[in-house]
Amino acid sequence: MIPQYHPIILASQSPRRRELLARITPDFIVCPADVDERLSPDSTPEENVRQLAQRKARAVSAQAESSALVIAADTIVVCDGTILGKPQDEADAVRMLRMLSGRTHQVMTAVCVKTADAECAEVSVTDVTFRTLHDGEAEAYAASGEPLDKAGAYGIQGAGGLFISGIRGDYYGVMGLPICLLSEMLRQVCGGTNVNTQKG
């Protein structure tokens, strides 16, 4: 499907990203990036998330063969200027969920596509509105374990969807991989068609 590049490498441990990339192409391998995910306090949230996606793509690309195409992403939640990554534990998840209750925040997912001689990185920003959480809801949801590996301590695609009264932007960007944006980036880097036309 992207004939001039082989292999296509998804630089991610995220099962959501794997599932979503399969909608664009069935033909990729997974090689998670091991990078320092510390944020830079002098950069904006958008710059931070872009830099993290670039760092992941570059780390995997440096180990890959020259014909490879690497795709990496990073997702953060931004609430009133505060960046929320993945919660450290259940109590941290409760703290984040209480912060999001009854207001609108932004989910930023950066995607970086890298080959031996080209690199592009874009950021998808989606507004997500939480209804006000009822007493005990944040604690019960945190105890379910679902929030622990997710930025902002919720999964729109899971039970976390019950808290969301509205979104403006790309649902798949919130889930971790904005497939519309990514397919356009691949079209730019590779040229030609980029849609998985296989059935099923």
Ligand X SMILES: Cc1cn([C@H]2C[C@H](O)[C@@H](COP(=O)(O)OP(=O)(O)OP(=O)(O)O)O2)c(=O)[nH]c1=O
Burial of 87 (0-12, 13-18, 19+ CB in 10 A): buried
Of residues 4 and 46, the one with the C-beta less far from ligand X:
46
CA distance linking residue 85 with residue 169, whole number of Å:
20
> Hey, what are 73's tokens?
């992403």
Q: Which residues pair with 75 in a beta bridge?
A: 109
From the DSSP assignment, how many helices (H) and strands (E) are in the chain?
Answer: 6, 7
Q: Which of 36, 42, 74, 80 is catalytic?
A: 74
Least Å distance, CB 176 to ligand X, is 3
Among 60, 59, 47, 21, which residue's Cα sits nearest to residue 122? 47
Least Å distance, CB 32 to ligand X, is 5
CA distance linking residue 180 with residue 7, whole number of Å:
21
Least Å distance, CB 63 to ligand X, is 15
Among this protein's residues, is 74 annotated catalytic? yes
Of residues 16 and 50, the one with the C-beta less far from ligand X:
16
Of residues 29 and 195, the one with the C-beta less far from ligand X:
29
8 Å CB contact between 185 and 120: yes
Residue 108: enclosing H or E segment and its boundaries? strand 104-114
Of residues 170 and 190, the one with the C-beta less far from ligand X:
170
CA distance linking residue 3 with residue 87, whole number of Å:
39
Of residues 112 and 200, the one with the C-beta less far from ligand X:
112
Least Å distance, CB 52 to ligand X, is 7
Least Å distance, CB 140 to ligand X, is 18
Q: Which residue has the tokens 């296989």?
A: 198
Residues near ligand X, by CB under 6 A: 12-14, 16-17, 32, 73-75, 77, 86, 107, 149-152, 154-157, 160, 174-176
* Residues annotated as catalytic (active site), given as ranges: 74
